[in-house]
Amino acid sequence: MNTAHALPSSGPTKNEILADKISQLAAHIHAATYRFLVMVREFDEREAWAEMGARSCAHWLNWRCGINVHTAREKIRVAHALADLHKISAAFKRGQLSYSKIRALTRVANTENEDTLLNIALSGTASQLEQLVRREIRTDDETDVEARTAAAMEHREFRWHSESDGSVVFFGRLPAELAEHVINAIESTAETIPRETSPTVKTRHADALVALANRNCKGYEVTLHVSAGTSMHANSLKNTGAIPVPAAQRLCCDAAFVPASEDHEGNVLDVGRRTRKIPTAMRRALDIRDKGCCRFPGCTNTSFLHGHHIKHWANGGKTSLDNLVLLCWHHHNLVHEGGFACRAIRSQTKKELRIVFERPDGVIIPDAFRLSAATTPIESQHHDLGISPQPVPRLTAIYALMWTW
């Protein structure tokens, strides 16, 4: 039999089989990503990340799961947005939509346009969907924006006044483009505020404003008014009233300290010399040793760091490199007022100094987590969970490649 002119096999080629396997595995990955985001959303809603002292769920994901903080923030945004997009979530759960498509959809999708956007997402590529989303995000007419901005700039202001209860009330007005920077800074900083101490959005925004001010201060000169015959007590600071001793100790960690003694009538008895301030050369060595980053596990903050006395100066601690550690404002506050502890452990050879942090319950917080190796293939996990991902059909994929706007 002459086989030279035999018809080619009608079955799939090796390349097509490989392509189908890749598509099937991709569907499993999409379905697994959906499961991951659902768990992240629940974890964030529980604020379970705060138990380890993390500044936010994004920082916890960076510390525990090895996800970049910026990427983690975006995943958290998508996870929360999916809660109200049931049809899109169902397609994502089945593995029919990739995370790239979901990320784009959650920027513009709502209950009214969900069906339309879902159909487009199922038949188009991720790049095409991204282009559509960009077109959906429209801005106001430039002329109107410029006119409103000019008027707002002319009326910008910021003022404050003191209330009889000791609080201070602020009032401000800014053009939208400038206010956007302020709002974004406050909201992003508010994510780092522990919700145990700031249970509402309003209180977290207030604490975020204070945190931003602290970050832009080069240091403090704290005057502690100590009544004669008593132990150290922070009676007042400039422009404010009384503060508790732990707060005064936190402020003084990396600040100039001017002790002032008073009699019972408030007359100044003595103003001591400046002490406790970390010398410039020592601060430089501290930055080099700690690599210019907050040493709290999982924290990535490299700006406006405080030099913290591990054993506080008021308790006999020395201003020495072995007794100092760099901390951001949030974790500095946790160590002083949040119940977290910090210890320095010198190795037997005395060549290595290990900084250890503990939760309020005494549990040591690991510096980093090594992810466990997967022991069960993702396909087997989905089979056990009753999940059957459905990759995009081959004809639909071909149509997507031909699709033009």
Q: Which residues pair with 259 in a beta bridge?
A: 224
The closest of 299, 315, 310, 370 to 341, measured between CA atoms, is 310
How many residues in the chain?
405
For residue 80, give Cα distances in angstroms to 37, 77, 132, 246.
Answer: 8, 5, 22, 37
Phi, psi of 385 (to 5 degrees): -90, 0
CA dihedral sign of residues 363, 365, 370, 372? positive
Q: Rounded distance, CA 100 to CA 89, Å?
A: 13
How far apart CA 65 and CA 81 sit, in angstroms, is: 21
Q: Among all chains, which residue has been given the structure tokens 């209330």?
A: 163
Residue 346's pLDDT is 77
Quote the pLDDT of residue 244: 63
pLDDT of 63 reads: 92
- Amino acid at site 363: V
Region for residue 29 given its phi and psi (left: phi exceeds 0; alpha: psi -120 to 50; beta: otherwise): alpha
Nearest to 401 by CA among 137, 19, 28: 19
Structure-block tokens of residue 51: 């138990």
- Across 319-389, where does the E strand assignment appear? 324-327, 341-346, 353-358
pLDDT at residue 269, rounded to an integer: 37
For residue 277, give every residue at least 6 positions away whose Cβ sits within 8 Å of its Cβ, in sequence order, or none: 219, 254, 255, 256, 257, 319
Which residues of the chain, if any, have pLDDT below 50?
Answer: 1, 139-143, 226-236, 238-240, 260-263, 267-275, 395, 397-405
pLDDT, tens digit, 9 for 90 and up, residues 173-190? 888 778 888 888 888 888
Residue with tokens 């987590």: 369
User: What pLDDT is attached to residue 90?
Assistant: 94
What's the pLDDT score for residue 403? 47
User: Residue 309: enclosing H or E segment and its boundaries?
Assistant: strand 306-309
Structure token digits, residue 369: 């987590």
pLDDT digits (tens, 9 = 90+) for 230-289: 444 444 454 445 556 666 666 666 555 555 444 455 543 333 334 467 778 888 888 888
pLDDT at 251: 62
